[in-house]
């Protein structure tokens, strides 16, 4: 049976919320530092957000899965990503005996007399520090446009993408200027009629996406986080690239025919401000995600600018408002580019926070039952 903590008698040194890449990396580094902790994961099985990706997404299609600390990533082959990555994460948890408890869907985190109380339904855990690694997948962003509620066709967000075969014979409008939109068009345009709209003109990369380019992209996101602004995704600042599997869609004009955003949605299509109209059967919103951090609201971590300000000019993981809180997988670490580095940073931040707390605090007791 999974380990549990008796809330009346136990105060952990740290708790990690989330068992995706950033969460597992954080747990690994906490264990190496000898810091008692548990990892609370909302999913019933390992894999994080990767478990929920569409079946058609293969390891060849993903932008890359960075290796977890002390390990190597799964191969870039034709295996389904929602199978390969969860298997990789599961093996990693077993190999390193990471203390993951699942399923635990955290509702809120409160501060009670200097102790952080993590609540999930009727269960609760008490801790001196917290590493939040909940990512963005559970918080899809859907913008509002006039008339959306009148549309008689199908509307779905990328989080619910069922695979390309679902759309055969339908005219599909893809909304969004990120990598997911490019991938969807690459899969759909050879099979069915597509349209593409974005708020801004896409910026295309013609060079290789090197580690140096990745680091530069992360730095742009760090700047916003340092200022306490809501973070942009790393992908939003990397620019767009076409992979070999998207060249067929390019040849069909799927990308060149991009149009600016429409003004409103009507029952059978969308209309632009100039009065032009396009009939569509499906609106696929590839409009991204926002950090899944509503459970941290009772801690009042947000700055006046609307985001959570992090230390080290946005390069760290420690919340400036409360150094007991680490955010791994937030802002610059919300991609595999930065998740592993964030795990190490979060563990060091926890170590610093514990060192600054009174030495007479009772050591954590984890009871296995």
- List pLDDT tens digits, range 195-215: 999 999 887 877 666 666 666
Distance CA 236, CA 260 (A): 17
CATH among 3.40.50.1100, 3.30.1360.10, 3.40.309.10, 3.50.50.60 for 12-138+289-355: 3.50.50.60
Secondary-structure class of domain 148-204+240-285 per CATH: alpha beta
| Lowest-pLDDT choice from 66-70, 174-178, 325-329 | 66-70
**Of the candidate ranges 127-131, 227-231, 320-324, the one whose mean pLDDT is the lowest:** 227-231
Q: What is the pLDDT of residue 214?
A: 64
Q: What pTM was estimated for this model as a whole? A: 0.86
- Which ranges in the chain are annotated with CATH 3.50.50.60? 12-138+289-355, 148-204+240-285
pLDDT at residue 64 tops 80 = no
Whether 8 shows a pLDDT value over 80: the answer reads: no
Peptide bond into 74 cis (omega under 30): no
pLDDT tens figures, 284-336? 999 999 999 999 999 999 988 888 988 876 578 999 999 999 999 887 666 55
Predicted confidence band of residue 233 (pLDDT cuts 50, 70, 90): low
DSSP 217-286: HHHHHHHHHHTTPPPPPSGGGT-B---GGGHHHHHTTTTTT-EEPPSEEETTEEE-TTS-EEE-SEEEE-
The radius of gyration of the chain's CA atoms, rounded to the nearest angstrom, is: 22
- Mean pLDDT in the chain? 87
Q: 361 versus 47: which is more confidently predicted?
A: 47
Q: Which band of pLDDT confidence, cut at 50, 70 and 90, is reported for residue 131?
A: very high
- Pick the closest to residue 280 from 182, 147, 179, 177 (CA basis): 147
């Amino acid at each position: 049976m999974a380990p549990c903590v008796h809330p009346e008698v136990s105060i952990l040194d740290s708790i990690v919320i989330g068992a995706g890449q950033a969460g597992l990396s954080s747990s690994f580094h906490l264990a190496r530092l000898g810091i008692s902790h548990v990892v609370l994961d909302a999913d019933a099985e390992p894999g994080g957000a990767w478990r929920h990706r569409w079946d058609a997404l293969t390891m060849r299609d993903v932008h890359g899965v960075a290796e977890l600390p002390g390990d190597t990533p799964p191969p870039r082959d034709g295996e389904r990503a929602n199978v390969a990555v969860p298997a990789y994460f599961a093996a990693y948890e077993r190999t390193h005996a990471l203390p993951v408890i699942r399923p635990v869907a955290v509702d809120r985190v409160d501060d009670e007399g200097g102790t952080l109380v993590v609540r999930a339904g009727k269960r609760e855990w008490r801790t001196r520090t917290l590493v939040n690694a909940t990512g963005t997948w559970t918080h899809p962003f859907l913008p509002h446009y006039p008339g959306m509620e009148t549309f008689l066709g199908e509307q779905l967000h990328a989080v619910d993408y069922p695979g390309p075969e679902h759309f055969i014979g339908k005219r599909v409008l893809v909304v969004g200027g990120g990598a997911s939109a490019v991938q969807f068009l690459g899969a759909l345009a050879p099979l069915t009629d597509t349209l593409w709209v974005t708020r801004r003109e896409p910026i295309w990369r013609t060079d290789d996406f090197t580690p140096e380019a990745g680091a530069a992209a992360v730095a742009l996101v760090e700047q916003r986080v340092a200022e306490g602004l809501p973070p942009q995704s790393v992908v939003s600042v990397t620019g767009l690239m076409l992979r070999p599997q998207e060249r067929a869609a390019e040849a069909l004009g799927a990308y060149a025919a991009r149009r600016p955003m429409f003004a409103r949605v009507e029952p059978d299509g969308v209309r632009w401000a100039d009065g032009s109209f396009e009939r569509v059967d499906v609106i696929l919103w590839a409009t991204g995600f926002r950090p899944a951090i509503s459970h941290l609201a009772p801690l009042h971590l947000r700055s006046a600018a609307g985001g959570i300000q992090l230390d080290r000019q946005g390069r760290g993981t420690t919340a400036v408002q409360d150094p007991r809180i680490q955010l791994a997988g937030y802002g610059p670490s919300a991609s595999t580019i930065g998740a592993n580095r964030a795990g190490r940073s979060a563990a060091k931040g926890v170590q610093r926070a514990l060192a600054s707390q009174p030495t007479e605090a009772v050591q954590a007791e984890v009871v296995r039952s």
